[in-house]
Amino acid sequence: MKKNLTIEAGPSETLIDAINQVFALLELNYHNQFYKAFSKPEDLPQIKRLWLSALKRFEPKIILQAIKSIIENNEFLPTLASMIKACEASSKLGLPEAHAAYLEACRAPSPKASQNWSHLAVYYAGRAADWYFLQNNSEHIAFPVFKQHYQELCQRVRLGEKLTAPTLEALPQKIKQAASKEALKAEFSKLRNSLDI
């Protein structure tokens, strides 16, 4: 039985909604642990208020990124302290959520290396998944591939790896003159003779 958190004034609806989503995700992913930790349903609104109070300094987007990261990397129901740490890590790193990163990668025009990415992990995940593959396959095929690369990169970033910005190759200082028609005909004749055509 789900009890939604309602508060008269103060936090925004999106923040309250984020906390409700966090608890819904915790209930789904840590079912037995959740019911053991929150055995009294009448206490749940009070617990949600405590979490809301502690997490109100974070954007709802950061809170949801943090809980998804916790769910992907932990087998046990998180404490409020571990949730705060995950929110701090997500807000410092600036990593977008996987689907938002996928959409950013798919919508970025070429040259990809010169784009202003929300985080370099998005660029490197797109490159690892292959830009052509992302552009030419439907989302239900391309997103899982991108997501796997992106999550691996996010984990490396969380562990302290610094991603360096890609560099664009500069144009050559001198541009070679195009071969004349006569030179091209001579090369073509030479090729035909060598192939015995």
Give 9-30 pLDDT, tens digit per residue. Answer: 456 788 899 999 999 999 999 9
**Residue 98 in contact with residue 123, Cβ under 8 Å?**
no
- Verify that 130 and 86 share a domain, yes or no: no
Give me the pLDDT at residue 80, please. 92
Give me the pLDDT at residue 4, please. 54
Question: 99-152: per-residue pLDDT in tens?
Answer: 888 999 999 998 888 888 989 999 999 999 999 999 999 999 999 999 999 988
Give me the pLDDT at residue 76, please. 92
Give me the pLDDT at residue 142, please. 95
Residue 197 or 181, more confident: 181
pLDDT band at 8 (very low <50, low <70, confident <90, very high): very low
- Verify that 117 and 84 share a domain, yes or no: no
With respect to residue 122, please indicate whether it lies within any of the assigned structural domains.
yes
Give me the pLDDT at residue 10, please. 52
With respect to residue 183, please indicate whether it lies within any of the assigned structural domains.
no
Least Cα distance to 144 among 68, 89, 156, 152 occurs for 152
Give me the pLDDT at residue 140, please. 94
How many Å apart are CA 2 and CA 42, to the nearest integer? 11
- Verify that 127 and 114 share a domain, yes or no: yes
- Verify that 48 and 110 share a domain, yes or no: no
Alpha-carbon torsion 89, 90, 95, 98, what sign?
Answer: positive
Q: Tokens at residue 138, please?
A: 């439907």
Between the CA of residue 50 and those of 16, 68, 105, what are the distances in Å? 12, 20, 37
Q: Region 143-171: what's the mean pLDDT? A: 85
- Verify that 75 and 105 share a domain, yes or no: no
Last residue of a domain, one of 45, 63, 93: 93
Q: Tokens at residue 10, please?
A: 């103060």
With respect to residue 23, please indicate whether it lies within any of the assigned structural domains.
yes
Instruction: Tell me the residue range of the domain where 87 lies.
Output: 13-93
The total of structural domains in the chain comes to: 2
* CATH number, domain with residue 68: 1.10.8
- Verify that 88 and 149 share a domain, yes or no: no
- Verify that 78 and 145 share a domain, yes or no: no
With respect to residue 2, please indicate whether it lies within any of the assigned structural domains.
no
pTM for the model stands at: 0.49
- Verify that 84 and 63 share a domain, yes or no: yes
- Verify that 58 and 79 share a domain, yes or no: yes
Q: Is the pLDDT of residue 7 over 70?
A: no
- Verify that 19 and 73 share a domain, yes or no: yes
- Verify that 63 and 112 share a domain, yes or no: no
With respect to residue 8, please indicate whether it lies within any of the assigned structural domains.
no
Last residue of a domain, one of 93, 114, 135: 93
With respect to residue 182, please indicate whether it lies within any of the assigned structural domains.
no
Highest mean pLDDT among 93-102, 125-134, 161-170, 180-189: 125-134
- Verify that 74 and 142 share a domain, yes or no: no
Question: 52-104: per-residue pLDDT in tens?
Answer: 999 988 888 889 988 988 888 788 999 999 898 888 777 767 777 788 889 99
